[in-house]
Structure 1
Amino acid sequence: MPEGHSVHRIARQFARNFVGKRIRLSSPQGRFVDGAAMLDGHIMTDARAVGKQMFLEFDHGLWLRVHLGLYGAWDFAGDIHANGTDAALRNRRRRPIARVADDQMLDSAGEDSLHSIGAPRLTRLRMAEGEKVSIEPDGFPPEPIGQVRVRLLADDVVADLRGPTACVVLDPQEVQVAMDRLGPDPLLDDGPAAEDRFVTVVRKKPTPIGRLLMDQLVVSGIGNVYRAELLFRAGLNPHAPGKSLSDEQARALWRDWAHLLKIGVTTGQMLTMDGLGDAAYGRALRRRADRHWVYKREGLPCRVCGTHIALEEMAARKLYWCPTCQA
């Protein structure tokens, strides 16, 4: 399932390439005909992500809410430009595996957000948990591929959505209700109020912290990868009740989530290992096996203590953790 960094990157793709343009909506698959008709021909005025959900606003006040779920993905094609938030990188001198700043990471393989979120003219860009550029389509707009729930088409760009858990049209009141139900997202609000909200909820709950981090009503955007990595980085047992955490531990979790989310949005990768040298950093960007502490490392020795990484199920998802470092 795409985690928070992917959805924020997709929302920024829409903000950069679709907002301000008149959009033609259709449902090639036929399952969203009525919803597409409600938005067809209107100008997109906003695009925002809250955790794992994305909201697209149109000039007549209606919104399109999309939750990709386990199988959803967007394809972009046409005159796609890089994420506008990365414009400052264009004027910087690039070098392989360079660190421009803590929140602006580049690599020689083009896996930073300037390249992986954008695409050259008339190429197709897949955006889900793994972002991959596929073959060039023949002409514009390209024919829909697969079961496209909804197509958003402007004069020069197109976005196709397939396999979402949710794809619905909402009015402003319904959008506000949907957003208010979600837990805080540090990319939308990294102030003390959002942090306090997270800390207060966590420290009241007898629920294991490994479950709380996956609850989108507690905190937005954390999925299976970030859950495992955040808990390892904090040295927390995933079975520890939320109310057993100290105030300092809960606040450190929130701040580390904000830190990792920012890196994920910038690089396009769930890079959770800090302090890497240039060679290790390059490997981490290229290979998932080299970018995580515990995720998908079951049976392998812990990178810190050598204990075999454990695998079990929690909240209907696989949980990876070190029984020694997280005792």
Structure 2
Amino acid sequence: MPEGPEIRRAADEIAQVLEGRVVERVSFAHPPLRHHGKRFKGRRVEHVETRGKALLTHFDHGWTIYSHNQLYGVWHVAKRGSLPDTKRSLRLRLTTASHEALLYSASEISVWRTDELDQHPFLSRLGPDILNENLEWRTITALLEEPRFAGRQLGALYLDQTFLAGLGNYLRSEILFAAGLHPSMTPSELTRGQLGRLARSTLDLSRRSYLTGGITNPPARARKLEAADASFGQRRFAVFEREGLACYECGVRIERIDISTRRLYLCKQCQQAPNAGARQRGL
């Protein structure tokens, strides 16, 4: 599933061809939505926004198209009339005089009045967006200390969109590794220093992934790997999808475990599980 950085990059591309432009046609594939096409015809797109993994296309008459890619959805931008060569099912098509924004394979699309979006069952439960430019690491630290989150294992918490919107599977593995924390630990067990390091890692790696197109490795390491002719996939991550390979920090082999039915990768040397007798704050 695309995570927050990927959805934001897709939104940036869509915004370039839609924002400020009149949409001449909007086509919905799902029968219950088809009648909404007339509602948007001839309207101007004011803003393309992301909230976590959801994408919102706002129009000038107070209506918004909500979409969530789920596991298989993908956006394409193309010149008008030039559809990409794909076997995917086209779910949403927004056409301007010169371009088209095309959403394939997504199963969650709906139409809302913009002023009623706070009633959306998914959006209403979201935590702060990890790519919100005003989000600070101290805010994340405060969230980690809230009673509703403080007692939960990090491996599960870092997939919960009510905690932080936009986090997902690869970011979870990469952030916990960067912070040197085992996924079985809970925020309530962390020292102030560990909380701060986790909060900063959360913010830094999410933003790095957005800016680099998905690379979470430190820039110096990524450049070194690129100079050694490593492929994009080989230089992206420190631990994610590197099961059996040596940890860049200590040389121990990366392992894969499953938490919340999702795969998580870690280095058990750099992210040691706390001892039973040391599972108290500050120890």
**TM-score under structure 1 length normalisation:** 0.73
Q: Distance in 2 between matches of 1:283 and 1:15?
A: 36
Counterpart contact for 1:8–1:265, Cα < 8 Å: yes
Residue 57 of structure 1 corresponds to which residue in structure 2?
A: 58
Q: Distance in 1 between matches of 2:57 and 2:166?
A: 18
Tell me, yes or no, if structure 1 residue 184 matches structure 2 residue 124.
Answer: no
Return 5+ residue gaps in structure 1 as ranges. Answer: 79-139
Report the identity percentage: 29
Change in Cα spacing, 1:258 to 1:223, as seen in structure 2 (3 Å) is same
Residue 113 of structure 1 corresponds to which residue in structure 2?
A: none
> In the alignment, which of 241, 244, 247 is matched to residue 186 of structure 2?
241
**Equivalent runs, 1:95-134 vs 2, <5 Å:** none
What do the CA deviations read for 1:20-50 (whole angstroms, capped 9, x no partner)? 1111201356564134343333111111111
Change in Cα spacing, 1:285 to 1:154, as seen in structure 2 (3 Å) is farther
Residue 97 of structure 1 corresponds to which residue in structure 2?
A: none
Residue 70 of structure 2 corresponds to which residue in structure 1?
A: 69
Residue 276 of structure 2 corresponds to which residue in structure 1?
A: none
Q: CA deviation at 1:186?
A: 3.6
Q: Which amino acid aligns with 1:181?
A: R
Q: Which amino acid aligns with 2:4?
A: G
Residue 147 of structure 1 corresponds to which residue in structure 2?
A: 89
Q: Which amino acid aligns with 1:152?
A: L
Counterpart contact for 1:68–1:164, Cα < 8 Å: yes
Secondary structure of 1:142's counterpart equals coil
Q: CA deviation at 1:197?
A: 4.7
Q: Distance in 1 between matches of 2:222 and 2:156?
A: 33
Q: Which amino acid aligns with 2:17?
A: N
Change in Cα spacing, 1:290 to 1:183, as seen in structure 2 (3 Å) is same
Counterpart contact for 2:47–2:58, Cα < 8 Å: yes
Residue 16 of structure 1 corresponds to which residue in structure 2?
A: 16
**TM-score under structure 2 length normalisation:** 0.84
Residue 5 of structure 2 corresponds to which residue in structure 1?
A: 5
Q: Which amino acid aligns with 2:195?
A: A
Q: CA deviation at 1:168?
A: 0.7
Change in Cα spacing, 1:323 to 1:46, as seen in structure 2 (3 Å) is same
Counterpart contact for 1:232–1:294, Cα < 8 Å: yes
Counterpart contact for 1:224–1:319, Cα < 8 Å: yes
Tell me, yes or no, if structure 1 residue 169 matches structure 2 residue 114.
Answer: no
Counterpart contact for 1:185–1:219, Cα < 8 Å: yes
Counterpart contact for 2:137–2:200, Cα < 8 Å: no
**Equivalent runs, 1:207-286 vs 2, <5 Å:** 207-276=152-221, 278-281=223-226, 286=231
Q: Distance in 2 between matches of 1:36 and 1:54?
A: 18
Change in Cα spacing, 1:260 to 1:297, as seen in structure 2 (3 Å) is same
Q: Name the count of aligned residue pairs.
A: 266
Counterpart contact for 2:243–2:253, Cα < 8 Å: yes
Counterpart contact for 2:62–2:115, Cα < 8 Å: no
Return 5+ residue gaps in structure 2 as ranges. Answer: 273-283
Counterpart contact for 2:52–2:166, Cα < 8 Å: yes
Q: Distance in 1 between matches of 2:222 and 2:264?
A: 28
Residue 102 of structure 2 corresponds to which residue in structure 1?
A: 160
Counterpart contact for 1:183–1:198, Cα < 8 Å: no
Counterpart contact for 1:184–1:194, Cα < 8 Å: no
Residue 326 of structure 1 corresponds to which residue in structure 2?
A: 271
Q: CA deviation at 1:284?
A: 8.5
Residue 288 of structure 1 corresponds to which residue in structure 2?
A: 233
Query: Larger relative contact order (C-alpha < 8 A, sep ≥ 6)?
Result: 1
Q: Distance in 2 between matches of 1:47 and 1:31?
A: 23
Q: CA deviation at 1:71?
A: 0.2
Q: CA deviation at 1:303?
A: 2.1
